[in-house]
Amino acid sequence: MLRDMRQLARGLFGILSLVVAFGACATFKNALQFQKPDVELQEINVTGLGLQGGTMDLVFDVYNPNDYRLRSTRLEVALELAGTDFGDALIDKPLDFSPVNHSRVVMPVRFTWAGVGAAARSLLESQELPYGLTGAVLLDTPIGERRVQLSSKGKVPLRKLVK
Protein backbone atom coordinates (compact mmCIF):
# COMPACT_ATOMS: atom_id res chain seq x y z
CA MET A 1 0.00 0.00 0.00
CA LEU A 2 2.83 2.36 0.85
CA ARG A 3 4.39 1.46 -2.48
CA ASP A 4 1.15 2.36 -4.33
CA MET A 5 1.02 5.69 -2.51
CA ARG A 6 4.59 6.50 -3.59
CA GLN A 7 3.84 5.63 -7.21
CA LEU A 8 0.71 7.80 -7.08
CA ALA A 9 2.73 10.66 -5.55
CA ARG A 10 5.40 10.33 -8.28
CA GLY A 11 2.72 10.31 -10.96
CA LEU A 12 1.05 13.41 -9.52
CA PHE A 13 4.44 15.11 -9.19
CA GLY A 14 5.21 14.31 -12.83
CA ILE A 15 1.87 15.71 -13.99
CA LEU A 16 2.33 18.81 -11.84
CA SER A 17 5.84 19.30 -13.31
CA LEU A 18 4.44 19.13 -16.84
CA VAL A 19 1.70 21.65 -16.03
CA VAL A 20 4.28 24.07 -14.55
CA ALA A 21 6.61 23.57 -17.55
CA PHE A 22 3.82 24.28 -20.07
CA GLY A 23 2.74 27.30 -18.05
CA ALA A 24 6.31 28.62 -18.02
CA CYS A 25 6.57 28.14 -21.80
CA ALA A 26 3.35 30.07 -22.35
CA THR A 27 4.56 32.85 -20.04
CA PHE A 28 7.94 32.93 -21.82
CA LYS A 29 6.25 33.09 -25.22
CA ASN A 30 4.02 35.96 -24.09
CA ALA A 31 7.04 37.79 -22.66
CA LEU A 32 8.77 37.61 -26.06
CA GLN A 33 5.97 39.01 -28.17
CA PHE A 34 7.36 41.37 -30.80
CA GLN A 35 6.26 44.99 -30.88
CA LYS A 36 7.27 47.16 -33.82
CA PRO A 37 9.79 49.87 -32.85
CA ASP A 38 8.79 53.51 -33.38
CA VAL A 39 11.08 55.33 -35.82
CA GLU A 40 10.69 59.10 -36.03
CA LEU A 41 12.68 61.58 -38.12
CA GLN A 42 13.65 64.31 -35.63
CA GLU A 43 15.79 66.66 -37.69
CA ILE A 44 17.87 67.11 -40.80
CA ASN A 45 21.39 68.50 -40.46
CA VAL A 46 22.93 69.90 -43.64
CA THR A 47 26.59 68.94 -43.35
CA GLY A 48 28.00 70.17 -46.65
CA LEU A 49 27.20 71.92 -49.93
CA GLY A 50 29.18 71.93 -53.15
CA LEU A 51 28.85 72.53 -56.87
CA GLN A 52 27.52 69.02 -57.53
CA GLY A 53 25.22 68.75 -54.52
CA GLY A 54 25.54 68.23 -50.83
CA THR A 55 25.38 66.02 -47.81
CA MET A 56 23.05 65.90 -44.87
CA ASP A 57 22.41 63.76 -41.84
CA LEU A 58 18.96 62.38 -41.08
CA VAL A 59 18.59 62.15 -37.31
CA PHE A 60 16.12 59.51 -36.12
CA ASP A 61 14.73 58.66 -32.72
CA VAL A 62 14.15 54.90 -32.48
CA TYR A 63 12.08 53.64 -29.55
CA ASN A 64 12.23 49.92 -28.73
CA PRO A 65 9.03 49.06 -26.77
CA ASN A 66 10.10 45.43 -26.28
CA ASP A 67 11.49 43.97 -23.06
CA TYR A 68 14.50 42.66 -24.97
CA ARG A 69 17.33 44.10 -27.06
CA LEU A 70 16.85 44.48 -30.81
CA ARG A 71 19.73 44.47 -33.25
CA SER A 72 19.33 46.08 -36.65
CA THR A 73 21.23 44.48 -39.48
CA ARG A 74 20.04 46.90 -42.17
CA LEU A 75 18.17 50.22 -42.29
CA GLU A 76 17.15 51.59 -45.68
CA VAL A 77 15.04 54.67 -46.44
CA ALA A 78 13.87 56.70 -49.41
CA LEU A 79 13.57 60.42 -48.61
CA GLU A 80 11.24 62.98 -50.14
CA LEU A 81 11.64 66.66 -49.18
CA ALA A 82 9.22 69.39 -50.22
CA GLY A 83 7.55 66.97 -52.65
CA THR A 84 10.81 66.02 -54.39
CA ASP A 85 12.71 62.73 -54.24
CA PHE A 86 16.02 63.37 -52.48
CA GLY A 87 17.30 59.84 -52.86
CA ASP A 88 17.95 56.74 -50.84
CA ALA A 89 20.06 56.09 -47.76
CA LEU A 90 21.36 52.88 -46.25
CA ILE A 91 22.96 51.76 -43.00
CA ASP A 92 24.09 48.16 -43.20
CA LYS A 93 26.18 48.05 -40.05
CA PRO A 94 24.76 46.62 -36.82
CA LEU A 95 22.80 48.95 -34.54
CA ASP A 96 21.71 47.92 -31.04
CA PHE A 97 18.45 49.14 -29.51
CA SER A 98 18.19 48.71 -25.73
CA PRO A 99 14.98 47.31 -24.22
CA VAL A 100 12.23 49.89 -23.54
CA ASN A 101 14.52 52.76 -24.51
CA HIS A 102 15.15 55.50 -27.09
CA SER A 103 18.19 55.47 -29.38
CA ARG A 104 19.50 58.18 -31.68
CA VAL A 105 20.46 57.05 -35.18
CA VAL A 106 22.26 59.35 -37.63
CA MET A 107 22.01 58.40 -41.30
CA PRO A 108 24.18 60.30 -43.83
CA VAL A 109 22.63 61.14 -47.20
CA ARG A 110 24.26 62.49 -50.38
CA PHE A 111 22.22 64.41 -52.92
CA THR A 112 22.86 66.10 -56.26
CA TRP A 113 21.44 69.42 -57.40
CA ALA A 114 20.09 67.85 -60.59
CA GLY A 115 16.47 66.94 -60.08
CA VAL A 116 15.94 68.57 -56.70
CA GLY A 117 14.95 72.03 -58.00
CA ALA A 118 12.39 73.68 -55.70
CA ALA A 119 13.21 71.35 -52.85
CA ALA A 120 16.82 72.58 -52.88
CA ARG A 121 15.56 76.14 -52.52
CA SER A 122 13.35 75.09 -49.61
CA LEU A 123 16.30 73.25 -48.12
CA LEU A 124 18.37 76.44 -48.08
CA GLU A 125 15.61 78.86 -47.01
CA SER A 126 13.41 76.96 -44.57
CA GLN A 127 13.57 76.27 -40.87
CA GLU A 128 11.24 73.32 -41.38
CA LEU A 129 10.62 71.02 -44.34
CA PRO A 130 7.73 68.75 -45.30
CA TYR A 131 9.07 65.24 -45.68
CA GLY A 132 8.00 61.78 -46.69
CA LEU A 133 9.93 58.71 -45.66
CA THR A 134 9.55 55.09 -46.73
CA GLY A 135 11.80 52.15 -46.12
CA ALA A 136 12.46 49.15 -43.96
CA VAL A 137 14.58 47.96 -41.08
CA LEU A 138 15.76 44.37 -40.64
CA LEU A 139 15.90 43.32 -37.00
CA ASP A 140 17.37 40.33 -35.20
CA THR A 141 15.20 39.43 -32.21
CA PRO A 142 15.22 36.51 -29.75
CA ILE A 143 12.21 35.16 -31.66
CA GLY A 144 13.72 35.44 -35.15
CA GLU A 145 14.45 38.02 -37.84
CA ARG A 146 11.79 40.64 -38.55
CA ARG A 147 11.42 43.09 -41.43
CA VAL A 148 9.61 46.23 -40.30
CA GLN A 149 8.24 48.60 -42.93
CA LEU A 150 8.74 52.32 -42.28
CA SER A 151 6.49 55.06 -43.56
CA SER A 152 5.96 58.56 -42.23
CA LYS A 153 5.15 62.09 -43.32
CA GLY A 154 5.32 65.39 -41.53
CA LYS A 155 7.49 68.43 -41.05
CA VAL A 156 10.99 68.23 -39.71
CA PRO A 157 13.28 70.97 -38.36
CA LEU A 158 16.27 71.80 -40.52
CA ARG A 159 19.59 72.75 -38.95
CA LYS A 160 21.66 75.06 -41.10
CA LEU A 161 25.27 74.45 -42.05
CA VAL A 162 27.72 74.64 -39.19
CA LYS A 163 29.91 77.79 -39.46
Reference 71, options 40, 45, 37, 41; nearest CA is: 37
One domain, residues 99 and 153: yes
Judge if 54 and 116 occupy the same domain.
yes
Q: Are residues 76 and 5 in the same domain?
A: no
Q: Which domain holds residue 77?
A: 38-159
- Residues paired with 157 in a beta bridge: 128
Asked whether residue 25 falls in the same domain as residue 69, the answer is: no
Q: Of 92, 89, 124, 130, give the one whose Cα is nearest residue 108.
A: 89
Tens of each residue's pLDDT in the chain, 163 residues: 656 656 655 665 666 666 555 554 544 555 579 999 999 999 988 888 888 888 889 999 999 999 999 999 999 999 988 888 888 899 999 999 999 999 999 999 988 877 676 666 666 677 788 889 999 999 999 889 999 999 989 988 877 554 4
> 3-state DSSP: the chain helix, strand, coil percent, rounded to 5?
25, 55, 20
Task: Provide the domain count of the chain.
Answer: 2
Q: Assess whether 125 and 92 both reside in one domain.
A: yes
At 52, which CATH number?
A: 2.60.40.1820
Using CA atoms, how far apart are residues 5 and 11, in angstroms rounded to an integer?
10
Q: What is the pLDDT of residue 163?
A: 40
Give the pLDDT of residue 84.
Answer: 85
Which pLDDT belongs to residue 6? Answer: 63
Claim to verify: residue 17 and residue 62 sit in the same structural domain: no
Examine the domain organization and report whether 7 and 81 are in the same domain.
no
95 and 27 belong to one structural domain: no
